[in-house]
Amino acid sequence: MSNTNATTDAHFRNALGAFATGVTIVTTKDADGGDVGLTANSFNSVSLDPPMVLWSLAKTSANLLAFKTNPYFAVHVLSANQQELSDRFAKRGADKFGGLVVGRGIGGIALLDGCSARFQCRTAFQYGGGDHVIFVGEVNKFDHSELEPLVFHGGKYAKVRPRLSIVGSASDEVDSSFRKDFLGYLLGFASSRLQAPVLARCAELGLSEEEYYVLTILVANPDSSVAEIDKMLALTGSYLSDERMGVLAAKDLIEFRDVGATRTLHLTEKGREASIQIYVVAKAAEATAEMVLDYDETMLLKQMLRRIIAKMLEHDNNG
């Protein structure tokens, strides 16, 4: 933690960014009856009785006059899958409502669908707050859904990830045992299920698991040298022996090119065809896992597994 005088914009913004918020879109109508709105994360609750909320608007906003003069506004607490909408409403001058189907609320104000919560307000107070105007609204109507909210933290969008103590853990399992709670067991079980169809396809094509790994490396890294392939294979606990290379070449799956003292490997047409066939099966197997995990969770799981693997390899290398 470092102390900084709020002298530089960037430092002050960064410090404010440490406060995680939701993301809202605030809408109203301008004097001509046109819909206006913008993305705002300055929203907060103020009072329960009477129900009041606040948010602040930059004095440079193209919509300042509309919000100052219209007695009503609506705050939409965005859900996790409304990030694009947030980006759209954060662009000045953009046709923010173009193509959107909107409902109508208090004062005829545009109401967006698919939100986590919505508050329809009558402006109760306006205060000057430096380069912003603070609007305090009395909530006339609100609605709330079960949709997960979008989060903003450190200048980036995020999603809510509850602490594990809330989600529950192996202790919730009726037949919980150390074996079933052991990370190695969980990974091994999931891995063998995910790998089974892949290995079955390899067998049909007359390929061993290790040979398949070499082909996948060559798809993503053509022209790799033996040393480079070995480095990538290390993640699988395997290596590229002369014998294995010989087998792959004899099966007409790879070919060699010698550039000076360096030997590089390339996929033949047959090798590329085999890799694609197995890749399709692997992706289908992965899709089974993705039926219970969303995209972010899948990416997070992969990231965490890579971290574990890297740590274990580091441990191996340090003896």
Ligand X SMILES: Cc1cc2nc3c(=O)[nH]c(=O)nc-3n(C[C@H](O)[C@H](O)[C@H](O)COP(=O)(O)O)c2cc1C
Per CB under 6 A, residues contacting ligand X are 23, 38-42, 55-58, 61-63, 90-92, 152
What is the chain's length? 319
Q: Whole-number minimum distance, CB 6 to ligand X, in Å?
A: 18
Instruction: Give the shortest CB-27-to-ligand X separation in angstroms.
Output: 11
Instruction: Supply the DSSP symbol for 113.
Output: S
**What's the gap between Cα 236 and its chain centre?**
27
Nearest residue (CB) to ligand X, 130 versus 260:
130
* Contact (CB, 8 A) for 136 and 124: yes
CB count within 10 Å of CB 40 equals: 22
- C-beta closer to ligand X: residue 150 or 248: 150
For the CB of residue 73, give the shortest distance to ligand X in the complex, in Å.
Answer: 12
Q: Which is nearer to ligand X, 73 or 152 (CB)?
A: 152
Range 231-234 contact pairs with CB under 8 angstroms and sequence separation of 24 or more: 234/313
Q: With respect to ligand X, which residue has the nearer C-beta, 88 or 201?
A: 88
Q: How far is Cα of residue 64 from the mean position of the Cα atoms in its chain?
A: 33
Give the separation between CA 194 and CA 301, rounded to whole angstroms: 14
In the bound state with ligand X, the residue whose beta carbon lies nearer, of 43 and 213, is 43
Picking from 86, 157, 76, 75, the residue whose alpha carbon sits closest to that of residue 113 is: 76
**Are the CB atoms for 88 and 53 separated by under 8 Å?**
no
Cβ at position 127, least distance to ligand X in Å: 14
Q: Could you tell me the smallest distance in angstroms from the CB atom of residue 136 to ligand X?
A: 14
